[in-house]
Amino acid sequence: MFSRVARPTATLLRSLSTSSQHNAKVAVLGASGGIGQPLSLLLKNSPLVSELSLYDIAHTPGVAADLSHIETRATVTGYMGADQLGAALKGCDVVVIPAGVPRKPGMTRDDLFNTNATIVATLADACARHCPQAMICVISNPVNSTIPITSEVMKKHGVYNPNSVFGVTTLDIVRANAFVAELKGLDPARVNVPVVGGHAGKTIIPLISQCTPKVEFPTDQLSALTGRIQEAGTEVVKAKAGAGSATLSMAYAGARFTFSLLDAMNGKEGVVECAFVRSEETECKYFSTPLLLSKNGIEKNLGLGKLSAFEEKLVAEAMDELKGSIKKGEDFVANMK
């Protein structure tokens, strides 16, 4: 059985190796970028995907030609430029959006807002017009604002379904699993840490108290571990020294979430992933918590569960920043011409 949070690698490995046949058309918007290319490679490798539609403003025909030579069954088509966006989205079951600019040293995710907000709003508008029933998975930062943007754009078209719009926070879970496993000498494939809240800095709230297997840390180590999970993206940005942000680990996490969603859409029961979604679980309109997925997207929000006093404090401290980021996204769409 699945624990409260999906196993970190089981879904990914199964989707790469299983012989079961499923038919899903998946679009990657931003497929030529640092996340888009490795993400497209992972999707091409999966028998869960029958059609892979790759869109970007440049280089997509080359990426598509390259991937099309791989001996897996997914057909790959590249689309380039705004005039081909509609064709890229037609008939899609799932749309994954890693488009946008990455962080550079010294930048916060919120510094990306002006550029990426416009990109995400444009792509969400196209999804609303050309594949309104599709599951929309947004990777583009700042996720705390781009999910409200996506939702408000879909509302303008009268096609918003809160159960099918996801902010992909999976990399926070992947990192938490890896870091806890490293500290405790565990197999990371068997570690599950739910991560709730948002997807930036102190809004990233790892629930170490709910980790399976159960782990315990002294207060100072718990605080340091939490801080590392919250700032892990910055760790990569600094290490890449101006050459970009987390791309390979983000592609892995994006693929993991997409495969979980496709598994659930194919009728698999008990699939749970955390994601940043419309929520009634806290005073924030959007919040990431473990979600039970189904063919309809979100079947049930599993909520926060029992929190430790340390985690309750983290949730309380995240609220103002999260509300501000959500409002910033909503205001952006309200003020769009």
Q: What is the pLDDT of residues 213-240, one digit of tens each?
A: 999 999 999 999 999 999 999 999 999 9
Calpha distance 15→47 (Å, rounded): 6
Contact predicate 202/184, CB 8 Å: no
Task: Give the DSSP H or E segment for 227.
Answer: helix 219-230
Q: Which of 203, 190, 131, 141 is nearest to 168 (CA)?
A: 141
Residue 109 labelled as part of a binding site:
yes
Residue 36 labelled as part of a binding site:
yes
pLDDT at 1: 33
**Residue 199 annotated among the catalytic residues of the structure:** yes
First vs last C-alpha separation in the chain: 49
CATH code of 170-326, in short, is 3.90.110.10
Residue 119 labelled as part of a binding site:
no
pTM: 0.94
Structural domain boundaries in the chain: 24-168, 170-326
For 16-25, the pLDDT digits (tens) are 544 445 799 9
Calpha distance 182→16 (Å, rounded): 25
Task: Give the DSSP H or E segment for 80.
Answer: strand 75-80
Residue 4 labelled as part of a binding site:
no
CATH code of 24-168, in short, is 3.40.50.720
Residue 103 labelled as part of a binding site:
yes
DSSP per-residue string spanning 274-325: EEEEE-SSSSSSEEEEEEEEETTEEEEE----SPPHHHHHHHHHHHHHHHHH
Residue 34 labelled as part of a binding site:
yes
One of 22, 59, 69, 199 is an active-site residue; which one?
199
Instruction: List the chain residues with pLDDT less than 50.
Output: 1-8, 11, 17-20
pLDDT at 17: 44
